[in-house]
Amino acid sequence: MEINDANLQALAGFLQQTLQPDPNIRKPAEQFLESVEGNKNYSVMLLNLISKRDAVDINIRFAGAIAFKNFVKRNWKIVRPTIA
C-alpha cells in the first residue's frame, strides 16, 4: 500500500463506513480493513490519518485509532523468554 492522498482518502472512506449503524455497510468495511492490515504501510497510513487534526474529521480519526488498536492487538506477538 503506497502512502498517497488517494489511498488515504480510500482508507478514510472505509473508516467512515465502519461508523455506520447499518451492518450491511459496516461489516464489509470492517472485513476489508482486516484483510488489508497485512499490507505494507497500513499501520503508517492509519497513524497518518489519525494525526491530521484539521484535514480529517474527528470521527474518522477516532475510527482510525480504534482500527490501529485492533491491528496492534491482532499482530503484536509477545515472545516470552525461556528459562533454562
pLDDT at 44 over 80: yes
Across 16-67, where does the E strand assignment appear? none
Residue 82 counted as domain residue: no
Say what the alpha-carbon torsion angle 12, 18, 23, 25 is, to the nearest 10 degrees.
0
Q: What is the pTM of this model?
A: 0.84
Predicted local confidence at residue 80, as pLDDT: 81
Q: What is the CA radius of gyration of the chain?
A: 15
- Is 83 inside any structural domain? no
Residue 40: give the domain boundaries: 5-75
CA distance 1 to 79: 28
Domain of 39, CATH number, reads: 1.20.930
pLDDT in tens, 47-62: 999 999 888 999 999 9
The rounded distance, in Å, linking the Cα atoms of 50 and 43 is: 11
Instruction: Give a yes or no: residue 84 inside a domain.
Output: no
What pLDDT score was predicted for residue 16? 97
In a domain, 11, yes or no: yes
Tell me how many domains the chain contains: 1
